[in-house]
């Protein structure tokens, strides 16, 4: 039977987690996926907030396990977060993210939560998890270069006159379809860690070896994506581009849910065993928090990203969302917390350079403040949560 004290502390931490999920939904995961589509006038701000909430919820439930487990158990060594530590980390991180939401400046949620968990973990006497930090730092540092560079290359291709724009869009659709075919879902193979992809399941239907079957299934799915977009483009290039853009926004929103929910529920994992609550239940609750945040607070940040950073057209938006989807799914696959603000803003800048040269129409002053907010959120959350835990523990311990 669960002790009342244990249940009480878990409920306090769960409330902090729900607040964190709301702040994330209202901020990074709720605002960034459809921001380029809103900037290209492919969808209204309010509709974007609605769809990103639903898709983020689905991503949280279906793909949220990897990052959740990493945040809950892999950021600090030799200690397990206590109820007090988890509550302090979640409350401070959520407060910092909420400040970013209401001031209009995107605070990097992944930086903030990662710093908060590390801060309380160190205060508890834990050791740094240097191997995991190396993975996280590599992705964070490479994201602006990989995302921005790929967005720049795609935008340049779409502007190239020797190749018809419609053919390039169809090729990009096939590429995205191949990626979707190989995304892993736990529901497709619940008995194995990481699950299975659509291509793996479909490939098993062919009387071939597993690897060949996956290749055949991937090719077939990519062809179907290309065919669907190609037919749509024949009814109007601009119409087809906007529809493709909305599909990309949906994929990024789904990926955002799969990554960002771990930032909210990860610290609860060490506590959930004490109250008999399995990880799927945590993901369901975290996804619900993301949904509420997206519906109630995301429109403000969607406007900030889509209008304040750059004026985007359909081609630049497509160029920005494809690398965003790739990086997001890589983070989900390897269980690395990632900032969607960093991903999207880097991709917007890359596509902007291709369209307008140096600067790409992006406010340098705005970007400077954003970068400072990212760095400050990581360092500040470590310091504040470390000090907060020490002070509170000394008062009640």
Domain that holds residue 198: 4-396
- pLDDT for 128-158, tens place per residue? 999 999 999 999 889 989 999 999 999 888 8
State how far the Cα of 364 lies from the Cα of 56, in Å rounded to an integer: 30
String of b and e for 95-127 (b: at least 16 CB within 10 Å)? bbbbbbbeeebbbbbbbbbbbbbbbbbbbbebe
pLDDT tier at 86, thresholds 50, 70, 90 = confident
Counted domains in the chain: 1
State how far the Cα of 323 lies from the Cα of 340, in Å rounded to an integer: 12
pLDDT for the residue 273: 63
Residues 325/172, Cβ–Cβ less than 8 Å: no
Q: Is the pLDDT of residue 302 over 80?
A: no
Cα angle, residue 65 at apex, residues 21 and 193 outer, rounded to 5°: 175
Give the lowest-confidence range in 116-125, 176-185, 285-294, 355-364: 355-364
Contacts with 124 (C-beta within 8 Å, 6 or more apart), sequence order: 76, 79, 81, 82, 85, 389
Q: What is the pTM of this model?
A: 0.86
């Amino acid at each position: 039977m669960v002790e009342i004290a244990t249940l009480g502390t878990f409920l306090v931490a769960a409330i902090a987690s729900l607040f964190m999920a709301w702040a994330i939904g209202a901020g990074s995961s709720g605002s960034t996926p459809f921001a380029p589509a809103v900037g290209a006038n492919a969808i209204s701000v309010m509709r974007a907030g609605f769809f990103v909430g639903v898709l983020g919820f689905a991503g949280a439930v279906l793909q949220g396990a990897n990052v959740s487990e990493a945040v809950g158990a892999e950021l600090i060594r030799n200690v397990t977060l206590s109820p007090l530590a988890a509550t302090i980390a979640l409350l401070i991180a959520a407060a910092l993210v909420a400040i970013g939401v209401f001031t209009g400046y995107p605070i990097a949620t992944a930086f903030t939560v990662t710093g908060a968990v590390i801060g309380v973990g160190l205060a508890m006497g834990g050791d740094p998890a240097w191997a995991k930090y190396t993975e996280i730092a590599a992705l964070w540092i490479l994201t602006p270069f990989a995302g921005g560079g790929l967005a720049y290359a795609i935008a340049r291709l779409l502007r190239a006159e020797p190749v018809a724009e419609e053919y390039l869009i169809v090729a990009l659709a096939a590429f995205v379809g191949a990626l979707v075919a190989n995304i892993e879902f736990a529901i497709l193979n619940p008995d194995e860690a990481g699950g299975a992809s659509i291509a793996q399941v479909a490939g098993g239907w062919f009387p071939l070896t597993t690897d060949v079957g996956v290749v055949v299934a991937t090719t077939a799915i990519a062809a179907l994506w290309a065919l669907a977009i190609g037919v749509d483009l024949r009814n109007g290039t601009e119409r087809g581009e906007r529809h493709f853009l909305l599909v990309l926004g949906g994929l990024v929103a789904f990926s955002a849910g799969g990554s960002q929910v771990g930032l909210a529920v990860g610290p609860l994992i060490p506590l959930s065993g004490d109250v008999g609550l399995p990880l799927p239940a945590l993901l369901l609750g975290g996804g619900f928090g993301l949904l509420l945040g997206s519906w109630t607070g995301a429109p403000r940040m969607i406007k900030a990203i889509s209008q304040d950073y750059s004026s985007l057209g359909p081609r630049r938006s497509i160029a920005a969302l494809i690398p965003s989807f790739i990086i997001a799914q890589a983070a989900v696959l390897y269980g690395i917390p990632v900032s969607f603000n960093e991903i999207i803003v880097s991709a917007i800048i890359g596509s902007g350079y291709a369209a307008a040269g140096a600067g790409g129409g992006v406010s340098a002053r705005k970007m400077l403040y954003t970068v400072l907010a990212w760095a400050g959120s990581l360092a500040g959350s470590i310091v504040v949560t470390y000090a907060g835990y020490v002070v509170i523990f000394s008062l009640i311990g």
